[in-house]
Amino acid sequence: MNKKLLLFLVLIQGVLFAQTAPNLIITDLEGNTHNLYSYLDDGKTVILDFFTVNCTSCQDGAPHLDTFWDDYGTDGTDQLRVISLEVSNSSNQLVSETAEEWGIGNPVVNLPEAPAAYSSFINAYPTYIIICPDKSMSSLLDFNYPETILAWEQNINTCDFGSDFTDVNLFANEIVHCQNTIQANLVVGNTGTTAVTGLNIDVFVDSIYHSTLSWNHILPLNTNTNNTLYPINFYSADVNGALIEFIVTTDEDTNPINNRDSHNLNDGIITPNTEFTFQIKMDLYPTDLSWFLTNSTDDIIFEGSGAEYDAYEEIEITTQLDSNDCYTFSITDAYDDGICCNFGDGYFHLFSGEDTLTSGGDFGSKFIESFYVGNEIGIEETYFENKRITNKLYFNLVGQEISAPTQIGIYIQKTIFEDGTFVSQKMILTNTKL
């Protein structure tokens, strides 16, 4: 089958049907019984997530559905119940291991096949069936970011607010940061029933106001800002803190829960090694692929295209990078399916010396990562003056002193100079050889 046709088929979603949801009484892997009608009678909206353990799109959607569960489930607003049902006749152990690997926190049920009352509504995996307290239901097929998340929100809003409401939803997408520089694509979706005519996005760093972005255009319902001619991109070179938060506001928004997104700025990648190696194995369709590496001034260090290579070919590129600079690596797939899973077992790895910076293959349409190359060994430059080091102390993230980092992770290094001054800085151990 032609790849383009296959992708067109699996991207169909938004199937609606005006039927009364059949009751469902099921037991999850923890032995807890769930009665659909009991939840509905208590005023809860329910999402039934039908999936299989070998479904890539199911895995892609799982962490986003878990975030939904956190926001609206028993530990959030308590207006929603999510039940994931595996229906491929897999063992309980395999389903349990898969749920843990995918990060599914809501109840998980293992069934040999889809319940008879719902089987006619399931034409692909995943299928998300959203049921309102009045027992009306809608169905969404497949998972696509961010469209499926916005569709979940749209349907739940309809359950709660009826047919006349305003709501917008914010995602901080494609975030890259290195040292004090951060850039992000901010996606705002219209999950209400009326067009939105203006947006303001406030930016906070460690809860302190940083700046505001204004978007003065029309955002139709059931769309997002990336679908318009005016995508919203944030860039700043003076972000100094541990957490950045984006909050969108618009007039008469009925649901502020989904108006914010945040990103931890302490998870950056740092390496002292200046030798950089890029390895990649193509999938069946290498012509879909392109990649490049840039420095902090957007100079291209190297770039390439899969059109130059054969299916399943493996290549390696090694280059020297300048120290004390930020670099950004990006790889894209024109058909939104990455390189590992649907049409081969492709992959990519980024190495700096012996350190593995990052790797992947199941990245959808785009993967982007930034890292800092800096030297932390020997004589360090502080306040533009060379000072000789007399001692180095190491601490874990709870402040306990340790003899030296021995496991991959994040630590605090305290460097003491011979004049008694010291510098504390975060270090990320990406290889057990220190």
pLDDT value, residue 375: 57
Say whether pLDDT at 77 is over 50.
Answer: yes
Output the pLDDT for position 189.
95
- Enter the tokens of residue 40: 């509905």
Angle made by CA atoms 79, 83, 86, in degrees to the nearest 5: 165
pTM, 2 dp: 0.68
Asked which of 223-237, 305-319, 362-376 is least confident by mean pLDDT, the reply is 362-376
What integer is the mean pLDDT of 79-108? 95
Mean pLDDT, residues 211-219 = 96
My answer on whether 334 and 192 are in the same domain is: no
Whole-angstrom Cα distance, residue 127 to residue 130? 10
According to the model, what pLDDT value does residue 125 have?
93
Q: Give the domain extent around 339.
A: 269-373
Predicted confidence (pLDDT) per residue in 315-355, tens digit? 999 999 998 888 989 999 988 778 987 788 899 999 988 78
Assess whether 196 and 235 both reside in one domain: yes
Mean predicted lDDT score pLDDT of the chain:
84
Closest CA to 283 of 306, 265, 255, 252: 306
Q: What is the distance of C-alpha 161 from the center of its chain?
A: 28
| Whole-number pLDDT of residue 178 | 83
Rounded to whole angstroms, the Cα distance separating 394 from 418 reads 18
Q: Is the same domain home to 313 and 237?
A: no
Which strands, in side-by-side order, build the sheet including 401-402?
A: 401-402, 389-395, 409-417, 422-429
Task: Please list the residues that pair with 402 across neighbouring strands.
Answer: 394
pLDDT tier, 79 (very low <50, low <70, confident <90, very high otherwise): very high
Question: What is the rounded distance in angstroms from the CA atom of residue 82 to the CA atom of residue 99?
Answer: 14
In CATH, what number is assigned to the domain containing residue 197?
2.60.40.10
Answer yes or no: do 239 and 327 share one domain: no
User: Which of 114, 144, 161 is at the close of a domain?
Assistant: 161
Number of domains in the chain: 4
Per-residue pLDDT for 301 more than 80?
Answer: yes
Which residue's structure tokens are 């406030």? 202
Q: What pLDDT is recorded for position 10? A: 34
Is 6 inside a domain boundary?
Answer: no
Q: Which has the minimum average pLDDT: 103-112, 164-173, 174-183, 222-231? A: 174-183
Residue 364: name the closest of 394, 327, 334, 321 by CA.
Answer: 334
Q: Out of 23-32, 282-291, 402-411, which region has the weakest mean confidence (pLDDT)?
A: 402-411
Span 38-42, average pLDDT: 97
* 40 and 151 part of one domain: yes
Token pair in block for residue 308: 């130059």
What is the torsion angle, in degrees rounded to the nearest 10, for the CA atoms of residue 397, residue 203, residue 250 and residue 368?
A: -70
Inform me whether the pLDDT recorded for 177 exceeds 70: yes
Nearest to 429 by CA among 271, 323, 322, 264: 271
Query: How far apart are the C-alpha atoms of 102 and 86, rounded to whole Å?
Result: 13
Q: What share of the chain is helix, strand, coil (3-state, %, to 5)?
A: 15, 45, 40
pLDDT tens for 249-283 read: 999 999 888 999 999 887 778 888 899 999 999 99
Residues 168 and 260 sit within 8 Å (Cβ to Cβ)? no
Residue 431's pLDDT is 45
Kindly tell me if the per-residue pLDDT of 224 is higher than 80.
yes
User: Is residue 329 domain-shared with residue 312, that is, in the same domain?
Assistant: yes
Q: Which residues pair with 25 in a beta bridge?
A: 35
CATH, residue 43: 3.40.30.10
Lowest mean pLDDT, pick from 7-21, 120-134, 358-372: 7-21
- Amino acid symbol at 117: A
Q: Which residue has the higher pLDDT, 428 or 49?
A: 49
Residues 190 and 147 placed together within one structural domain of the fold: no
Number of H-type helices and E-type strands within the chain = 6, 30
Q: How confident is the model at residue 396 (pLDDT cuts 50, 70, 90)?
A: low
Comparing 176-180, 216-220, 383-387, 405-409, which segment has the lowest mean pLDDT? Answer: 383-387
- Distance (Å, whole) CA 109 – CA 30: 9
First to last CA, the chain: 50
pLDDT of 9 reads: 31
Q: What is the rounded CA–CA span in Å between residue 177 and residue 200?
A: 22
Does 199 have pLDDT greater than 50? Answer: yes
Domain boundary among 264, 292, 321: 264
Top-ranked range on mean pLDDT: pick from 27-41, 348-362, 397-411: 27-41
Span 360-389, average pLDDT: 64
Angle at 184 between CA 183 and CA 185, to 5 degrees: 140
Whether residue 51 is predicted with pLDDT greater than 60 in this model: the reply is yes
Give the rounded percent of residues in the chain with a pLDDT score beyond 70: 83
Spell out the residues 6+ positions from residue 291 whose beta carbon is closer than 8 angstroms to its own.
278, 280, 303, 304, 305, 329, 330, 331, 332, 348
Residues 228 and 284 grouped into a single domain: no
* pLDDT at residue 241 greater than cutoff 90: no
Tell me if 285 is assigned to some domain: yes
